[in-house]
């Protein structure tokens, strides 16, 4: 499929999105149409239907794949099933990055799935970097209202000129709006789409307290329902750009409806366990793109008064409520 044809398909599909977020209208693609093997040798297996992929982590290596094209904005999605049982230290990532093109000033938009010890839940982490701003972490972490190891669930990223929106099963869970003061901290350069599984023992579970135990290997992550709709660009162009209509359609698609916003607020109220916007230990001054929600701030202060309340560790009194109760296990 040539560049012009891909662009026309991209524009027509996003026109369909404008009238309402209709993810089911976007076709799934064959793995070989959109992706290529990144690393892991035999630890990456494409199903015989050509639409599903299995990534494995074992004692030898992790594995991963990457998009064939490089994109300047778009919608990127996959249904993923995570490994069950003991998974501490395991990291599964579904993300956009241009670190191979811009080693010192790369951009990144991340979905990261962080494993846990037996009996505790997987956690999701989202993050963004722009122009190499890795010193300013913009992480958020959440629990889920379902067990992500029992079945496939869809995880999606919408990236436009002014918005980044993360979705779980078509429910928006995080919205980042570009502000003038963010400058280059907002991802703005063309990126590839990656999916990987790897050993994050040094940090992924309780700050590295629990690492990968290869007694439980292999760890297998399954990907299907791959959606890869973006504005593919030539990385050799000095100032790559998309057609005006494609840009406009993306902007319109990134407007969250009232119903979607209500679902997002409900999710964040019940399931968000960390947000950099409320972390007084890291940021004495709230970063410009943060929209402080008093209800979120209050809930997180109760959840962790040291991190979110700025209370010195030696001055905490009493016991705060358990994380499991505050995180919630009910549906959104």
Among 112, 140, 289, 296, the active-site one is 112
Q: How far apart are CA 36 and CA 194, in angstroms?
A: 10
- With a CB cutoff of 8 Å and minimum separation 6, the contacts of 165 are 157, 158, 172, 174, 175, 176, 254, 256
112 in catalytic set? yes
**Backbone φ, ψ for residue 203 (5° rounding):** -150, -20
- With a CB cutoff of 8 Å and minimum separation 6, the contacts of 292 are 277, 278, 286
DSSP string, 13-82: HHHHHHTS--GGGSPP--HHHHEEEEE-GGGEEE-TTSS-EEEEE-SS--EEEEESSEEEEEEEEEEEE-
Instruction: Identify whether the C-beta of residue 86 lies closer than 8 Å to the C-beta of residue 57.
Output: no
Among 33, 59, 108, 140, the active-site one is 108
Instruction: Identify whether the C-beta of residue 226 lies closer than 8 Å to the C-beta of residue 34.
Output: yes
Instruction: Identify whether the C-beta of residue 140 lies closer than 8 Å to the C-beta of residue 124.
Output: no
108 in catalytic set? yes
DSSP string, 169-205: TTEEEEEEE--GGGGGGS--S-BEEEEEEEE-TTTTT
First to last CA, the chain: 40
Q: How far apart are CA 303 and CA 316, in angstroms?
A: 13
Q: What is the 8-class DSSP label of residue 224?
A: E
Active centre residues (catalytic): 108, 112
């Amino acid at each position: 499929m040539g560049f012009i044809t891909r662009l026309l398909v991209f524009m027509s599909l996003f026109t369909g999105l404008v009238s309402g977020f209709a993810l089911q209208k976007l076709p799934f693609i064959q793995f070989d149409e959109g992706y290529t093997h990144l690393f892991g040798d035999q630890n990456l297996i494409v199903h015989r239907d050509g639409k599903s992929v299995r990534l494995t982590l074992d004692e030898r290596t992790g594995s991963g794949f990457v998009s064939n094209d490089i994109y300047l904005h778009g919608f990127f999605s996959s249904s993923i099933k995570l490994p069950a049982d003991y998974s501490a230290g395991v990291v599964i990532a579904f993300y956009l990055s241009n670190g191979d093109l811009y080693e010192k000033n790369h951009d990144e938009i991340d979905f990261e799935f962080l494993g846990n010890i037996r009996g505790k839940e997987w956690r999701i982490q989202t993050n963004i970097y722009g122009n190499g701003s890795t010193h300013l972490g913009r992480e958020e972490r959440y629990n889920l209202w379902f067990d992500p190891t029992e079945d496939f669930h869809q995880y999606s990223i919408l990236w436009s000129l002014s918005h980044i929106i993360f979705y779980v099963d078509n429910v928006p869970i995080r919205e980042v709006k570009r502000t003038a003061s963010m400058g280059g901290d907002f991802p703005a350069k063309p990126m590839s789409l990656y999916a990987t599984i790897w050993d994050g023992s040094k940090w992924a579970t309780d700050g590295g307290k629990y690492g990968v135990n290869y007694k439980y290997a292999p760890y297998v992550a399954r990907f299907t329902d791959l959606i890869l709709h973006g504005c593919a660009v030539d990385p050799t162009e000095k100032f790559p750009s998309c057609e005006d209509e494609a840009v406009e359609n993306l902007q319109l698609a990134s407007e969250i409806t009232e119903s979607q916003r209500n679902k997002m607020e409900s999710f964040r109220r019940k399931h968000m366990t960390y947000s950099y916007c409320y972390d007084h230990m890291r940021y004495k001054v709230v970063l410009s793109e943060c929209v402080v929600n008093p209800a979120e701030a209050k809930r997180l202060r109760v959840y962790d008064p040291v991190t979110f309340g700025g209370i010195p560790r030696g001055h905490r009194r009493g016991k705060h409520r358990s994380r499991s109760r505050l995180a919630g296990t009910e549906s959104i």
